[in-house]
Structure 1
């Protein structure tokens, strides 16, 4: 199979038929073998009913339905697990991503032997204050922390070599930083392509301030994981040893001062330095233990499911 198109969605019943027909038209024009995987992320409209109808009409359509809204990252992760195409393309369901970009994205992956091609919506039709400004802040921070010189980390239109999506674990709001996750797994051949962005035709945007905040928190997480995920003791052990050393030095100073210079003076417990040394040594010990526990957890890592699928269609289709 040439291409798997993975489409996460939430309450997009108005756009699904049009999007499906557009993708099929592109695939047939280019003679691609394909599958379309819709992941319904807990929609409350008729999105799942539309997916079921599309699956009956087109055996290349598959669908997963979450029991509730788990988020775009979980939806992508579920789609990646069942994708069979040599190249996997992700896109949003709101018709703002153009399926006409698929042939060029496929060509970049296969002909240039790239691991990942990220779309760049150079000209956007979103609200400048609500989405454009936050996206620019995200992208600037992501470039700085990851070292990847991509203009648009948050673009939903991306193409991946199959090996990439089978190697990464997407969770939280990490869908924004999939190129960084891929880089951390050793996939270095990453490029970008300017893609057409279209104004939303149906429904309303799902972007909110909570996603803005969560995205930045996840950026901090991914920076930490990039630096210390494989060796948490390198960070926590260093900080713990440093804090313990400071506390020990305070305690040593107080002990020498009490024994040799001020034996009949005030009690050690009356001096604030005594409590500072105790707190520093306790914090140092806790940080060191945190690093040690991190190493143990890393070695006994489990892959726990973060979502529950209530229905699926098309899984027996070839």
Structure 2
């Protein structure tokens, strides 16, 4: 079977009203530009009639494929399964709420195929979201930009385009869908671009994400940055930090005791070591240093026993 030009992965949760309009829009764009395509609708445990709509759309459009979860697992799980099923040369993701425009597909596809990008992320420069959603998003994107070094304005934009081998090389889990560009760079794909895209006001329903996504987002940012730098060598982080704390605590303890002995030898006023808060802080630093070092050592043992410790992605051979 010939390879499809594009795959469009659409994770959804309770979006029965918008699905027919979205699929018709994608179909219209693909036909206008003579693109062979598939639309993979991943129903993330919807409680409305979304799956029934998907079944009906499958009868109307041969390009529609559906995946349904027994319960709500989250957007990352939906993307992971959609990526695994995708067969197109260029893989797109977009939200099901009609806020992302399928009209952006041809231009983003050209950026992948003609300009050599591995990943192109949409930038909703003009957004039609409430202020309470826009400003936290701006701060979150600024933090992610500074922490990762990837110069994207909108990490969380649902509209993205990927070279097929990118989505087959990364593992999206938890709430990591916000950090796919970081995961892609970690996997060796450094050609990451950005395109200003049109954003539409929500037409049906309401947002499925609450304020808790900001907390989860920052925790996941810390996780993905740690894994990208120290995932295969946790001793470099825990061992280094533990050694520094042990040396600081040990050196401070020696200084406190030596200071007492010197004052005692010269008949100077002194305080008992056990009455000095610095002594207890030094002992705490020693204990924490040992624990951190042991954490790094245990992490190395776990990593050494991992079945994929030598699982390297080979791009080309001769």
Give TM-score scaled by structure 1 length. 0.87
The equivalent residue for 1:280 is 285
Q: How far, CA to CA, are the matches of 1:302 and 1:59 in structure 2?
A: 40
Q: Secondary structure at the match of 1:38?
A: strand
- Larger deviation, residues 5-14 vs 287-296: 287-296
- Larger deviation, residues 190-199 vs 267-276: 267-276
The equivalent residue for 1:183 is 185
CA RMSD of aligned residues (A): 2.3
- Larger deviation, residues 207-216 vs 274-283: 274-283
The question of 1:7 aligning with 2:10 is answered: yes
Gaps of 5+ in 2: 309-318
Write out aligned runs for 1:124-135 (5 A): 124-129=127-132, 131-135=133-137
The equivalent residue for 1:312 is none
The equivalent residue for 2:216 is 214
| Cα 1:29–1:282 shift into 2, 3 Å | same
The question of 1:167 aligning with 2:200 is answered: no
| Cα 1:115–1:289 shift into 2, 3 Å | same
| Deviation digits for residues 280-306 of structure 1 (CA, Å, limit 9, x no counterpart) | 222111101111222233344479xxx
The equivalent residue for 2:207 is 205
Shift, 1:36, TM fit? 0.9
Q: Secondary structure at the match of 1:62?
A: strand
The partner residue of 1:39 within 39, 42, 60 is 42
Write out aligned runs for 1:1-318 (5 A): 1-129=4-132, 131-253=133-255, 275-301=280-306
Which structure exhibits the higher relative contact order, with contacts defined as CA atoms closer than 8 Å and separated by 6 or more residues? Answer: 1
Q: How far, CA to CA, are the matches of 1:202 and 1:272 in structure 2?
A: 61
Give TM-score scaled by structure 2 length. 0.87
Q: How far, CA to CA, are the matches of 2:32 and 2:253 in structure 1?
A: 77
Shift, 1:254, TM fit? 5.6
Shift, 1:258, TM fit? 7.5
Aligned residues: 301
Shift, 1:198, TM fit? 0.8
Q: Secondary structure at the match of 1:39?
A: strand
| Deviation digits for residues 151-209 of structure 1 (CA, Å, limit 9, x no counterpart) | 11111000000111111111222211111111122111111111111111111112311
| Deviation digits for residues 47-98 of structure 1 (CA, Å, limit 9, x no counterpart) | 1111122223333211111222111111111111111111100000001111
Shift, 1:116, TM fit? 0.4
